[in-house]
């Protein structure tokens, strides 16, 4: 494997790459994220009627309506804002440098996203998968089409913010200090998996879901290191989340933007356990597709 291009990401981090700065920066990113998110929610509370605001707060817990899920995803964008602010204030590097060079980011994102859209369309069209008979209706088609532009924007913000924090900030700052790839690829990916460890949601499958998340993060981390920018990683994350949130979601929570829903939710441990290996295979195929699209 060749990670020479990763120096594009690590070079701006090297002047202030002390581990104490990184540890403090990670904490500050989370604090800024929660502070901005709570501030936005409080601002909405000041302009909304009481009943409507209480309904909004309840909806944020479940994400079963378009408005509530759009807001949940949008609030994640504050994590990316926090990472860029911390990069500027604590490491004296431009926040935008967490993306890598914009020209590379833009073209890598477009090439990988285009290739992954084709891949996912082919997978959905191939037998024995039958989208209509294997799923149940979600949003009515006219409503889904109406909110689709907003869905694409907020999913891009959500996935971009997570990539900026985990791969743009955490990975590049760590790699500027610690040279072994196993560490700077592994630690941010483990942190990403820890953030997806939710035993209250997935029950006995929580550890498997967290492990899936670690492997997904490793694929995104590898693409970032190979390309020297976040374009490919954001595209991988973006297409995956559009499929999960906008096209076919699990039933129940966080299904408010989906056209179709699977006939089970995260609490169905048997169905989730059977689905995870297929999702894991799709991660591997998507990672390979991204590399082919970029000729890596």
Instruction: Quote the DSSP letter at residue 4.
Output: G
Helical H segments across 203-245, by residue range: 206-227, 231-242
Question: What is the average pLDDT score of the chain?
Answer: 91
Residues 6+ apart with CB under 8 A from 178: 184
Choose the weakest-confidence range: 39-48, 124-133, 138-147: 124-133
Residue 289 pLDDT class (50, 70, 90 cuts): very high
Q: What is the pLDDT of residue 53?
A: 77
- Other C-beta atoms closer than 10 Å to the C-beta of 88 total 15
Distance CA 169, CA 91 (A): 10
* Residue-wise pLDDT tens digits, 19-43: 999 999 999 999 999 999 999 988 8
Question: What is the residue whose two structure tokens read 């989730």?
Answer: 272
Average pLDDT over residues 95-119: 95
Other CB atoms within 10 Å distance of the CB of residue 92: 12
Give how far Cα 238 sits from Cα of 113, 182, 231, Å.
8, 25, 10
In this predicted structure, what is the pLDDT of residue 55?
A: 80
pLDDT at 63: 80
Q: Identify whether the C-beta of residue 87 lies closer than 8 Å to the C-beta of residue 22.
A: no
The region, left, alpha or beta by phi > 0 then psi within -120 to 50, assigned to residue 16 is beta
Instruction: Give CA angle at 73 (70, 75), nearest 5°.
Output: 105
- Report whether 62 contacts 146 (CB < 8 A): no
């Amino acid at each position: 494997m060749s990670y020479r291009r990763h120096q594009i990401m690590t070079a701006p981090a090297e002047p202030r790459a002390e581990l104490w700065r990184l540890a403090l920066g990670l904490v500050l990113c989370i604090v800024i994220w929660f502070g901005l998110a709570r501030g936005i929610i409080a601002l909405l509370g000041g302009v909304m009627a009481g009943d409507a605001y209480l309904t909004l707060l309840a909806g944020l817990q479940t994400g079963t309506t378009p408005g509530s899920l759009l807001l949940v995803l949008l609030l994640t964008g504050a994590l990316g804002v926090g990472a860029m602010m911390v990069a500027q204030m604590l490491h004296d590097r431009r926040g935008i440098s967490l993306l890598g060079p914009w020209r590379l980011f833009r073209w890598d994102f477009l090439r990988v996203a285009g290739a992954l859209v084709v891949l996912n369309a082919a997978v959905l069209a191939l037998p024995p998968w039958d989208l209509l008979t294997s799923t149940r209706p979600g949003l009515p088609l006219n409503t889904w089409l109406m909110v689709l532009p907003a869905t694409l924007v907020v999913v891009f913000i959500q996935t971009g913010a997570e990539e900026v924090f985990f791969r743009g900030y955490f990975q590049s700052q760590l790699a500027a200090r610690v040279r072994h790839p196993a560490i700077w690829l592994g630690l941010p990916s483990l942190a990403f998996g820890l953030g997806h460890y939710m035993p209250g949601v997935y029950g006995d499958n929580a550890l498997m879901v967290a492990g899936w998340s670690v492997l997904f993060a490793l694929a995104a981390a590898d693409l970032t290191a190979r390309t020297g920018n976040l374009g490919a990683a954001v595209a991988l994350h973006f297409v995956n989340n559009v499929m999960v949130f906008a096209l076919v979601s699990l039933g129940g929570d966080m299904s408010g933007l989906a056209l179709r829903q699977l006939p089970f939710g995260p609490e169905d441990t048997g169905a989730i356990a059977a689905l995870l290996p297929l999702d894991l295979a799709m991660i591997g195929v998507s990672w390979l597709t991204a590399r082919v699209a970029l000729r890596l």
